[in-house]
Each structure stands twice: as structure tokens, then as C-alpha cells.
Amino acid sequence: MKEKQPSQILFITGGTIIILGSFAQFLKLKYAPFVFVLGAALLIYIHGKHALDSKITDRRQLRLARIGFFTSLTLALAAYFMFMGSNSWVVMILIYALSSFFQSFRGN
């Protein structure tokens, strides 16, 4: 149980930072994309680390981990749209949220 605790803390921290960055973007604050990028980087790191974990032997779990990593890259695309001033970042976050919701029922 101790092995998962740091990654769980980083995952919760990254999600919280993304939510804060999203609200700051709605309020049109200048630093909002930078806050969002920090949270997105944490989540991409956690998903990437999980996808590259050598302990996963089940093909289904490995496939879900890879899908999680590739959908976490939509957060990087959302950050790009934030920096460009486009409102398409909302769609990218929605894609990530729906994919994560789907994966929560498919995984352990």
C-alpha cells in the first residue's frame, strides 16, 4: 500500500491544480494557463508512469493504462488551446473527463 501512496497524492494534487487552473481561465486570469500546465504535467507523468509500469502483466490492464496515457495527452492539447486563447480547451477537458469516467468502470 505504501508504493501507491505517492502516486495517489500526485494524482489528486494534479487534478486539484487542473480544476484551479480551469476556474482561473474562466475568470480570465493571466496565470491560468501556467497553473493548468502544472496540473496537466503531473497527470501526464502519473499516467505515463503507470503505462510503463513493468508489473502489469495482464493485457487488458496494460491496454487501459496506455489508453489512459494517450487521453491524458488531451490535457496538454487543452493547455495549448488555453495559451492560444481559443475556447476549444473545454472540449479537450471534456474528452479527458469522459474517457477517465469510462476507464473507472473498466479498471480495477
Q: Is the pTM of this model over 0.75?
A: yes
Could you tell me the residue range of the domain that residue 78 belongs to?
4-106
End-to-end CA distance of the chain: 15
In order, the DSSP letters of 11-73 are HHHHHHHHHHHHHHHHTT-TTHHHHHHHHHHHHHHHHHHHHT-TT---HHHHHHHHHHHHHHH
Alpha-carbon distances of 107 from 25, 27, 63, 78, rounded to whole Å: 32, 35, 10, 25
Q: Which amino acid is at 53?
A: D
pLDDT score for 96: 94
pLDDT above 90 coverage of the chain, percent: 67
Closest CA to 72 of 94, 49, 50, 43: 43
Summarize pLDDT for 42-92 with one digit per residue, the tens: 999 999 998 888 677 788 888 888 999 999 999 999 999 999 999 999 999
Structural domains in the chain (count): 1
H-run or E-run covering 86:
none
